[in-house]
């Protein structure tokens, strides 16, 4: 159990991997389900996934964006998601603690429980999916931009896939290649003149992370 509470308005590197280093994302649908949970479980009002499932059954042609516009008047997020990367056997986030000091804890518990239930039912297995409780590290302000690269571009640091072309990380959204409503990107991008400036910073630091072998999973 975490002894020191998460501090309000501070940023944390959150990460975990599959139990016994097993893959936790086996196909595209798994990645998409996890991203959906990241969106709908990040609200102080619980039950949005259930409401979305019921809505989709009655309105199969509707999108998640339309569901939220119709069914949810106002979002009250538990955390602020800054960046993420989902690799086959582990994930990384940067989260900002907002409001009371239980936001990150509640969000991550919901996410882990919801996805484990989905995964076990879909793939006909039982038991824990992730390696214990999620791990967390406070991000110091002087390391914030570098850590954004570590998380955004983790697939490339691990030599899995070029981050700018990887569908399961937030980096394409940082480059303006796709609309990504999950992340609050301004806190990072406001430190650069344009997308290209952040891309150049990222490329430089990807090389440095590889050379230093700073792999935190």
Dump pLDDT digits (tens) for 77-107. 999 999 999 999 999 999 999 877 789 999 9
With respect to residue 95, please indicate whether it lies within any of the assigned structural domains. yes
Range of the domain at 96: 20-42+77-212
Residue 3 confidence class, pLDDT cut points 50, 70, 90 = low
With respect to residue 208, please indicate whether it lies within any of the assigned structural domains. yes
With respect to residue 54, please indicate whether it lies within any of the assigned structural domains. no
Close Cβ partners of 196 (under 8 Å, ≥ 6 residues apart) = none
With respect to residue 206, please indicate whether it lies within any of the assigned structural domains. yes
Q: What is the CATH number of the domain that holds 186?
A: 3.30.70.1290
With respect to residue 89, please indicate whether it lies within any of the assigned structural domains. yes
Is the distance from CB of 37 to CB of 30 less than 8 angstroms? no
Q: Check whether 198 has a pLDDT greater than 60.
A: yes
With respect to residue 12, please indicate whether it lies within any of the assigned structural domains. no
How many structural domains does the chain have?
Answer: 1
With respect to residue 65, please indicate whether it lies within any of the assigned structural domains. no
With respect to residue 144, please indicate whether it lies within any of the assigned structural domains. yes
Dump pLDDT digits (tens) for 166-185. 999 999 999 998 777 899 99
């Amino acid at each position: 159990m975490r002894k020191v509470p998460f501090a309000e308005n501070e940023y944390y590197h959150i990460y975990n991997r599959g139990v016994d280093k097993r893959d936790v994302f086996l196909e595209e649908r798994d990645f998409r389900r996890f991203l959906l949970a990241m969106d709908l479980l990040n609200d102080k009002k619980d039950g949005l996934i259930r409401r979305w499932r019921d809505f989709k059954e009655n309105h199969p042609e509707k999108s998640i964006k339309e569901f939220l516009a119709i069914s949810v008047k106002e979002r009250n997020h538990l955390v602020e998601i800054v960046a993420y990367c989902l690799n086959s056997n582990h994930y990384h986030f940067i989260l900002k603690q907002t409001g009371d000091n239980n936001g990150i804890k509640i969000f991550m518990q919901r996410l882990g429980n919801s996805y484990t239930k989905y995964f076990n039912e879909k793939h006909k297995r039982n038991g824990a999916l992730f390696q214990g409780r999620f791990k967390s590290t406070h991000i110091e302000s002087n390391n914030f931009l570098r850590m954004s690269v570590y998380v955004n571009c983790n697939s490339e640091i691990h030599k899995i896939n070029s981050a700018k072309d990887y569908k399961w990380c937030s980096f394409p959204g940082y480059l303006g290649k796709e609309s990504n409503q999950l992340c609050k990107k301004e806190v990072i991008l406001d430190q650069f003149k344009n997308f290209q400036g952040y891309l150049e910073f990222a490329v430089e630091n990807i090389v440095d992370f590889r050379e230093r072998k700073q792999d935190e999973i």
